């Protein structure tokens, strides 16, 4: 029974763990809070009978050693299960096997956050994953509109959903569920609106006078975390250099 996953529990030597994520939580359809975590190690762990002494063959003496991506999941307060580890024996996009394993593990975190997993266990209890509704061309669906009706201008930017949780945290989500980081002006503006918890604002990340390509570049910086911790002045200067 556990509220959190501790990778160290699965190794005789905790030093085998070379990188680990935070715990991520999500409420399931039965109102249970599920927990998931991922880490990278240079051994499979003492739970695996094939681990032995950790010998990887003579090749390991002359080449980059193998690493393992290991994850675990379960229900908070229930049983935690280990997933099948992924062995990383070659690096395709990163300088070393270790960096490749960490890179691949982080991509799995992105997949989890897209599906609604959060680092905050309390926030996960009330969080509902929201996806934007797609727009249709008037020529295709205009006949379904019942007049009188309200219309608004469509700004050509990057789709964004802004949510506020029970703790007052404002988060910007992409169309695919990824989180935009570093757009503090927008976050603070929503906080000043004093909207209730559970509020969702659907719109576009947009900067007047910028091309859609330039706006897309700014949005990608937000997804990558490049804006995080950067002052608004520095963001503006960086944007001006690019465009």
Q: Is residue 96 part of a domain?
A: yes
Last residue of a domain, one of 122, 138, 171: 122
Q: How confident is the model at residue 225 (pLDDT cuts 50, 70, 90)?
A: low
Q: Is residue 136 part of a domain?
A: no
Q: Is residue 140 part of a domain?
A: no
Q: Is residue 135 part of a domain?
A: no
> What mean pLDDT, rounded, does the chain reach?
83
> Are 158 and 116 part of one and the same domain?
no
Q: Is residue 138 part of a domain?
A: no
pLDDT digits (tens, 9 = 90+) for 125-175: 877 777 777 778 889 988 999 999 988 887 889 999 998 887 788 989 888
Give the angle 39-42-45 at the CA atoms, nearest 5°. Answer: 75
In angstroms, the Cα distances linking 18 to 101, 116, 150, 226 are: 10, 26, 56, 24
Q: Is residue 99 part of a domain?
A: yes
Question: Minimum mean pLDDT among 98-112, 114-128, 223-237: which range?
Answer: 223-237
Q: How confident is the model at residue 189 (pLDDT cuts 50, 70, 90)?
A: very high
Last residue of a domain, one of 75, 107, 122: 122
At residue 211, does pLDDT exceed 80? yes
Last residue of a domain, one of 102, 122, 142: 122
At residue 184, does pLDDT exceed 50? yes
Q: Which domain range does residue 74 map to?
A: 7-122
């Amino acid at each position: 029974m556990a509220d959190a996953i501790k990778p160290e529990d699965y190794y005789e030597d905790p030093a085998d763990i070379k990188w680990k994520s935070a715990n991520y939580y999500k409420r399931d359809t039965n109102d249970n809070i599920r927990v998931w975590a991922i880490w990278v190690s240079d051994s499979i762990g003492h739970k695996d009978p094939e681990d032995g002494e950790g010998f990887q063959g003579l090749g390991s003496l002359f080449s980059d050693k193998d690493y393992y991506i290991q994850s675990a999941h379960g229900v908070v307060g229930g049983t935690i299960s280990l997933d099948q580890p992924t062995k990383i024996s070659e690096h395709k996009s990163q300088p070393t096997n270790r960096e490749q394993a960490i890179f691949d593990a982080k991509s799995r975190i992105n997949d989890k956050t897209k599906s609604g997993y959060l680092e905050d266990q309390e926030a996960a209890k009330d969080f509902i994953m929201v996806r934007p509704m797609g727009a249709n061309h008037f020529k295709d669906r205009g006949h379904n509109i019942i007049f009188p009706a309200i219309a608004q201008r469509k700004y050509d930017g990057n789709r964004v959903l802004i949510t506020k949780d029970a703790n007052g945290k404002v988060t910007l989500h992409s169309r695919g569920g990824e989180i935009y980081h570093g757009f503090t002006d927008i976050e603070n503006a929503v906080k000043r609106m004093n909207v209730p918890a559970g509020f969702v604002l659907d719109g576009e990340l947009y900067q007047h006078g910028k091309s859609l390509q330039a706006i897309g570049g700014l949005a990608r910086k937000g997804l990558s975390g490049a804006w995080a911790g950067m002052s608004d002045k520095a963001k503006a200067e960086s944007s001006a250099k690019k465009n």
